[in-house]
Structure 1
Amino acid sequence: MPTITTINPATGKELQTYDVMSRQEASDRVEACHAAFLDWRGRTHMERAPVLKAVGQKLRDHADELAALMTRETGKLLKDGATEVELCAAILDYTAANGPDLLADEERTYGADGQRGVVSYQPVGVIYSIQPWNFPLYQPVRVLAASLMAGNGCVLKHASICTGSGLRLRELCIEAGLPEDLFQVVVIDHDTSDALIAHPRVRGVTLTGSDEAGRHVGAVAAKALKKTVLELGSNDAYLVLEDADIETAVKFSVMGRLFNNGETCVSAKRFIVTDKVYDDFVDQFVARMEAITLGDPMDEDCQLGPLSSEEQLQTVKGQVEDSVAKGAKVLCGGEAADRQGAYYPATVLADLAPGMPAYDDEIFGPVASIIRARDDEDAMRLANDSRYGLGGGIFSRNEDRAFRLARDHFDTGMVRINSFGAADPNMPFGGVKDSGYGREHGGFGLKEFINVKSLFLP
């Protein structure tokens, strides 16, 4: 029987071994989820809400345990894990509080005589959730919360390196009162995953991952006529305009590049700096990045932990080396740390051009790309010169102008102004272009996998 073994990326030591399910076992989990859905769909939104709140409280009650588990499996800083747990609880609270109103029937009129119509938001069944390793709790929970409130069931295929986190999440949901079969976790290979997408009980598929993975899952789902939501990679640009406050820009740029060890889809990755402030920003930014020290992610004072795996370390290392071979200049970092574990230092690259991974692609690690722009207009052009479009940022003392640039010209799904952050329960999350489609959070995710049903009364 094939197995999966999780490994602590900070030490290289094995954590746990799990049996990989057969295709039949995985199919049985989907069938069980569907059976539980048939009962769950009969509950009102107000009856579902307390269960979601109970799950959120259960996560808070086990916050220390969950944070430590995520750190052991993925190398994320322990303090970031604690923040992640609280975000998950906040999402569940938000969904419980706002879901009943957002999903309530809507009165409409139709026809020349204004007959009564009703739009009803009805659940569809089992939602298949394929999630990555960088946020082992948050990624599944943001799908789970919306699915449960809408009345659907959920089957999770988590990334293999954080299998333990996915299984523990399910255990805590059941302890909180969620029907046992309504949320399933399957430990399967990619071929079985493709089979589940086509499973007749699966009514929708959502993936967070790379654009390559999105193309594959989207194609398999489309062939089976399944709706998808794809939240894919990005190469987020943060613009430092001519009137930017450099201290603010540097502060949030370092934070934005190193958050979650640089392994975040909405990390600040490309820093497009206008010529007028280029030298000042780069000098201060590089000095701050050089001062970042690697450490044990379990240490509360740690600034930068390991990458999630040896494989990820080699990927980042290769992208940097390829960029340098094509002419990129290393301003700091740039070489894997000579120590045990999958550690890579805070790195800054400059003199970038199209054709380099540091210019074109997403580097999922603590590597910052500096791109010089002639002026503000050129900076905006360069920001949009990407196949991605998830997030981005603008640093400027003129907040109103920055807002207009963000609203009218930034070709992304999200823009931060003079700040950095990842996600908020009340704001929609998602992107455009090769960063995918569909939205989560802010109430939008509640309506991605539902039957919008029109009811015509005489």
Structure 2
Amino acid sequence: MRTEAISINPATGEEIARHPALDGASLERVLAAASTAFADWRTSSVGRRAEAFLRLADTLEARRETLARLITLEMGKPITAAGAEVDKCARLARWYAENLPDLLADETPDVGGDGTAVISYLPLGVVLGVMPWNFPLWQVLRAAVPIICAGNGFLLKHAENVQGSALALGECFRAAAFPEGLFGVVHADRALVTGLLADRRIVGVSVTAGVAAGASLAAEAGRHIKKSLLELGGSDPFIVLADADLDLAVAAAVEARFQNCGQVCIAAKRIIVEAPIMDVFVTRFVEAARGILTGDPLDPATRIGPMARVRARSDVHDQVCRSVAMGARVLLGGEIPDGPGAYYPPTVLIDVTPDMPICAEETFGPVAAIMAAKDAEDAVHIANNSDFGLSAALWTADVEAADRLARRIEAGAVFVNGMSVSDPRVPIGGVKRSGYGRELSHFGLREFCNAQLRWVRR
């Protein structure tokens, strides 16, 4: 049984903090507090909830520098990007606060002379959230804000290396005067956390994780007839057709592949380029990637810091090595640097085939796999030749053709002439082994609701 989580600064390899795990009694206290808070919160007015989330947005903004530094120290995100993550979280809370009356409004389907029908979106209870480390605040709040806005409670099981961020979020909810315990933090042994799904007070689980962890939690939830929402990553295609604006496409592809050191679920992991422009695209892409400033994540000029863990770096390097052994060629990077920390250079591979690990598996690091397509039809075929289906990007000057092609891409979202992004106004989620369910927008708000029908006949 694990008794504590140890946070390691991935830039230096130095220990930051130790966080003791909860025992069974402590876990019960957290769950009991969440259940009690939910009993009050579930009947709260939309106005009360909106005011609380406006306070949360203000709290996040007031603590921006402290939170950003914590993110950087715990998982290596460059400080500028860490600050942007805090800003995005504040905008998320504010957007839901401002739009909550419309998002939770009753619906009144027309049943003619057969009476009056009303559909209300009512909360279910306390939801367990199992969250990853790559966006220590955003990933949590992307799940928690809509769930709590709907009137539910939320218990966070965060990744071990970002326990400081988990506790800091708990402090933000307290500072924003949410009911005590409504947002709880449950760092505990995996068996104890999984056991929560057997408790009647837990109504479901929202998971952002790898496929194996997500499948295990979904199976446990299903065993107890509890709802699960899964976001299990992707191998997202970034398609560039011959008529695309090459300057914009190259710049977006570099950003989409290397942001957050490539540790993004919706990153451009397979770059598929139509044959007539393949050579010039590769030349420009490699030149741009070579110019990315890598270094100290606390330096505001740094664009790529270390990966979050040495183990994660080893996994990515292993994918590169196995792909090279199968015939891929390295045009840039591909070597573990000397020195402390979990650094890995921007890496570019070509002559890549779909069966190589760099394509067949999710690549969670700063490695770009560039593939050639004969034409648009072939590009869509290559894009769909994956077990994953989270998001995709498609670059072309023919927007009408893009809409037809996008409908055939097996992904939860397709971005035309733009990189994949998450935004509270629109849903995010995948198909195939990328998971099921949706977060954000009204879809995310209603995932853990009872869509209750009340039909009064006259």
Instruction: Output the TM-score relative to the length of structure 2.
Output: 0.97
Aligned to 1:92: 93
SS state at 1:415 partner: strand
The SS at the match of 1:193 is: helix
> 1:27 touches 1:196 (CA, 8 Å); kept in 2?
no
Aligned residue in 1 for 2:170: 170
Determine the C-alpha separation between the residues in 2 that align with 1:251 and 1:349: 17
After TM superposition, where is structure 1 displaced by more than 6 Å over at least 4 residues in a row?
A: none
- Matched to 2:428, the amino acid is F
Equivalent residues in 2 for 1:357-396, closer than 5 Å: 357-396=357-396
Structure 2 partner of 1:78: 79
Distance 2:355 2:255 in 1: 27
Counterpart for residue 418 of structure 1: 417
**SS of 2:256's equivalent?**
helix
Q: What corresponds to 1:158 in structure 2?
A: 158
For 1:253-264, what aligned pairs fall within 5 Å after superposition? Answer: 253-264=253-264
Partner of 2:208: 208
Q: Is the 8 A contact 1:273 1:372 kept in 2?
A: yes
Per-residue CA deviations over 1:364-384 (Å, capped at 9, x if unaligned) read: 000000111111110111011
Confirm or deny that 1:219 pairs with 2:214. Answer: no
- Greater shift in the superposed pair: 395-404 or 234-243: 395-404
Could you tell me how far apart the structure 2 residues matched to 1:422 and 1:189 are?
Answer: 33
C-alpha distance in 1 between matches for 2:417 and 2:391: 14
CA deviation after TM superposition for structure 1 residue 290, in Å: 2.0
CA deviation string 1:234-285 (max 9, x = no partner) = 0000111121222111110100011111100000110111111111101111
Matched, 1:324 2:316: no
Question: SS at the partner of 1:300?
Answer: coil
Query: Partner residue of 1:278?
Result: 278
Other-structure match for 1:350:
350
Deviations 1:26-80 (A, max 9, x none): 1321121011100111211111110011001100111111000000000011111
Paired residue for 2:431? 432
**What is the rounded CA distance, in whole Å, between the counterparts of 2:331 and 2:189 in structure 1?**
41
Conserved? CA contact 2:10–2:308, under 8 Å: yes
Query: Structure 1: which amino acid aligns with 2:419?
Result: F
Q: Read off the aligned partner of 2:282 and give its amino acid letter.
A: V
SS at match of 1:106: coil
1:174 CA drift (Å): 0.4
Is the CA contact (8 Å cut-off) linking 1:20 and 1:189 kept in structure 2?
yes
Does the alignment pair 1:188 with 2:188?
yes
Contact 1:99/1:446, CA 8 A, preserved across alignment: no
Equivalent residue runs for 1:99-178 within 5 Å: 99-110=100-111, 113-178=113-178
Q: Which residue of 2 aligns with 1:456?
A: 455
Give unmatched runs, 5+ long, in structure 1.
Answer: none
**2:408 counterpart of 1:409:** yes
Q: Distance in 1 between matches of 2:222 and 2:293?
A: 46
Counterpart CA distance in 2 for 1:131 and 1:48 is 23
1:46 aligns with 2:52: no
Q: What RMSD in Å do the two structures reach over aligned CA positions? A: 1.2
C-alpha contact (below 8 Å) 2:4/2:21 kept by paired residues: yes
8 Å Cα contact 2:3-2:189 kept in structure 1: no
Conserved 8 A contact 1:98-1:443 = no
Name 1:28's counterpart in structure 2. 29
Q: CA deviation at 1:404?
A: 2.7
Q: TM-score, normalised by structure 1?
A: 0.97
Identity %: 41
Whole-Å Cα distance in 1 between the matches of residues 317 and 193 of structure 2? 30
Contact 2:79 2:299 in 1 (8 A): yes
Look up the equivalent residue of 1:390 and give its one-letter code: L
**Which residue is equivalent to 2:18?**
17
Kept after mapping to 2: 8 A contact 1:126/1:203: yes
Contact 2:127 2:153 in 1 (8 A): yes
1:193: how far off? 1.7
CA distance in 1, matches of 2:411, 2:163: 32
8 A contact 2:269–2:359 mirrored in 1: no
Deviates more, 1:224-233 or 1:397-406: 397-406
Q: Deviations over 1:96-146 (max 9, x none)?
A: 111222212222344x73211211111111011000000000111112211
Contact 1:54 1:176 in 2 (8 A): yes
1:267 alignment counterpart? 267
Q: Hey, what's the Cα distance between the residues in 1 that align with 2:45 and 2:94?
A: 17
Letter aligned with residue 152 of structure 1: N
Q: Which stretch of the first structure deviates more once superposed, 285-294 or 204-213?
A: 285-294
Instruction: Give the deviation of 1:171 after TM superposition.
Output: 0.6
* 8 Å contact kept, 2:37–2:181: yes
The residue aligned with 1:231 is 231
- Give the Å deviation of 1:397: 1.7
42-51 vs 95-104, which moves further: 95-104
Moved more, 50-59 or 183-192: 183-192
Deviation string 1:259-315 (CA, Å, 9 cap, x unpaired) is 111100000110111111111101111111122232001111102110001111111
Contact 1:128 1:205 in 2 (8 A): yes
Q: What is the SS of the residue equivalent to 2:48? A: helix
SS in 2 for 1:430: coil
Q: Is the 8 A contact 2:392 2:420 kept in 1?
A: no
Cα displacement (A) at 1:421: 4.2
Kindly state the Cα deviation for residue 346 of structure 1 after the two structures are TM-superposed.
0.3
Counterpart of 2:72 in structure 1: which amino acid?
T
Aligned residues: 456
SS of the residue corresponding to residue 107 of structure 1 reads coil
In the TM superposition, what whole-angstrom CA distance separates every residue of 1:159-191 from its partner, at most 9, and x where no partner exists? 000000010111111011111111100111211
Alpha-carbon distance in structure 2 between the residues aligned to 1:49 and 1:454: 24
Measure, in 1, the Cα distance between the counterparts of 2:315 and 2:199. 33
Q: Which one-letter code corresponds to 1:22 in the other structure? A: D
Question: Residues 296 and 305 of structure 1 are in contact (CA less than 8 Å); yes or no, is this contact kept in structure 2?
Answer: yes
Which residue does the alignment assign to 2:300? 300
Secondary structure of 2:276's counterpart equals helix
Ranges in structure 2 where 5+ consecutive residues have no aligned partner: none
User: One-letter code of the match for 1:252?
Assistant: A
Paired letter, 1:103: L
